[in-house]
Amino acid sequence: MTDLTTLGEIGLIDRIRQATPAPTHPETVLGIGDDAAVFVWDDENYGLLSTDVLVEGIHFDLTYVPLKHLGYKAITFAVSDIAAMNGLPIQVTVGLSLSSRFPVEAIDELYEGIRAACEAYNVDLVGGDTSSSRSGLILSVSVLGKVPKDLITYRSTAQPNDVICVTGDLGAAYLGLQLLEREKQVFLADPNMQPNLSEERAYLVQRQLRPDARTDIVHELRDLGIRPTAMIDVSDGLASELLHLCRQSRTGAVLFDENLPIDDQTHLAADEFKISPVTAALNGGEDYELLFTIRPQEYDKLSTNARITAIGYLTADPSQIVLATKAGQQTPIRAQGWPSESQ
């Protein structure tokens, strides 16, 4: 028998993918291999389908995650996969397993967050499945999305010289998690201690507890007349996502460390935790920003856009995916593991 940990999450998914037969329905355009599966919706549009599972004790800790935020975050996870295909969400279903230790009011709170997210992302909550569990809470969200055929954006279609862009800022959700974990330890040591989550930390905690999927960017790119050459959402950290994009597009990449968008609060907290802010940005994960590439001649259209930052460019050599410093030094970018991986 082979221990699951020797394979790793990515290895497990590769194993599943390789053993999965090619799709047979004429409706299926793409199966496993991107942020969402793709099917032919009608003459003008593709449909998108994606599923995410959130498990208590793995993806969230109810010691410090309010159920309302958890509900919101679960929808964010799913919607982010649709945004990463340059699409917009239409319907979601929520599968819920929970033990009887949860009172009815807890479920109300969870669904309050789910509904708030559905409203924010303009998506219909259309069904699901509710069942008992022996322990803990498990949320499974599936989402149906739509994208015009001429705008769909895969991970695999970038070209050398394309400009690498990222939305928002990176690393804040990871430092938010460090803050919450530290306060939890303080609380466990002395339950009378008040949490020390000052105003200056509010942004980091919010980024961890209630991240937003960037459907606004999908609208913005359409307004700007830009179709990215490739796109992926930053759920597992920029490094990991860039490696996926480069592997699937068969390109290399150069990222400029000084260009990485990192919030002031992230810098301050990183100093405090003695973590390099660049490492937090590259490997922290859970930012739910969009990483995308555009043709160099399109760059002018968004060079002054405050919500999008150019952080590097793609190269022709797939073996060279590097972080470049101002001083000219280049170090290879590697991915860190993460306990969850979408197929």
Does position 149 interact with a copy of itself (CB under 8 A)? The reply is: no
200 annotated binding-site participant: no
* 3-class DSSP state of 2: coil
76 annotated binding-site participant: no
- Backbone φ and ψ of 341, nearest 5°: -150, 125
* 3-class DSSP state of 276: coil
* CA dist list (Å): 323 to 80, 100, 233, 330: 26, 49, 19, 5
Please, which of residues 253-292 interact with a copy of itself by CB under 8 A? none
Please, which of residues 39-68 interact with a copy of itself by CB under 8 A? 39, 41-43, 47, 49-53, 55-59
Min separation Cβ 45 and a copy of itself, Å: 10
Does position 126 interact with a copy of itself (CB under 8 A)? The reply is: yes
8 Å CB contact between 120 and 79:
no
Please, which of residues 3-32 interact with a copy of itself by CB under 8 A? 3-7, 9, 12-13, 15-16, 19-21, 23-25, 27-28, 30-32
User: Please, what's the b/e burial string for 169-195 (b: 16 or more CB within 10 A of its CB; e: otherwise)?
Assistant: bbbbbbbbbbbbeebeeeeeeeeeeee
Looking at 74, 96, 209, 232, which residue binds a copy of itself (CB under 8 A)? 96
Does position 138 interact with a copy of itself (CB under 8 A)? The reply is: yes
* CA dist list (Å): 4 to 239, 240, 243: 24, 21, 23
CB atoms within 10 A of CB 325: 12
CB atoms within 10 A of CB 311: 24
Min separation Cβ 311 and a copy of itself, Å: 27
Looking at 62, 65, 66, 111, which residue binds a copy of itself (CB under 8 A)? 111
Min separation Cβ 179 and a copy of itself, Å: 23
Does position 90 interact with a copy of itself (CB under 8 A)? The reply is: yes
Residues placed in the known binding site for substrate: 59, 286, 338
Residues placed in the known binding site for ATP: 111, 128-129, 155, 235
